[in-house]
């Protein structure tokens, strides 16, 4: 039995309802980095504790 605490996962169904707050474009899910990616805005929005943080000020710019 594994007693290691796990953070809640991201509900991928939520992805269908979310759009980029800057461009209103669709987002893609990056499971490895726990981010939602807006290719249109070149931003990565973090997912913390299973909750997407959809604030432009919290997003990481993509190169």
What pTM value is reported for the model?
A: 0.82
Instruction: Tell me what percent of the residues of the chain surpass a pLDDT of 70.
Output: 87
- In words, the CATH class of domain 12-61 is mainly beta
In this prediction, residue 12 has a pLDDT band, given cuts at 50, 70 and 90, of confident
Tokens linked to 29: 């899910």
Listed residue (4, 3, 12, 13) closest to 30, CA to CA: 12
Given this model, what pLDDT does residue 6 score? 47
Tokens linked to 12: 């991928």
Among 14-18, 31-35, 45-49, 58-62, the least confident range: 14-18
- End-to-end, the C-alpha distance of the chain in Å comes to 42
Given this model, what pLDDT does residue 8 score? 58
Q: Where are the domains of the chain?
A: 12-61
Listed residue (15, 17, 23) closest to 56, CA to CA: 23
């Amino acid at each position: 039995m594994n007693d290691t605490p796990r953070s809640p996962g991201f509900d991928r169904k939520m992805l269908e309802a979310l759009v980029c707050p800057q461009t209103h474009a669709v987002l893609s899910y990056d499971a490895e980095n726990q981010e939602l990616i807006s290719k249109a805005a070149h931003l990565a929005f973090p997912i913390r504790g299973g909750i997407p943080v959809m604030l432009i000020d919290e997003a990481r710019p993509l190169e």
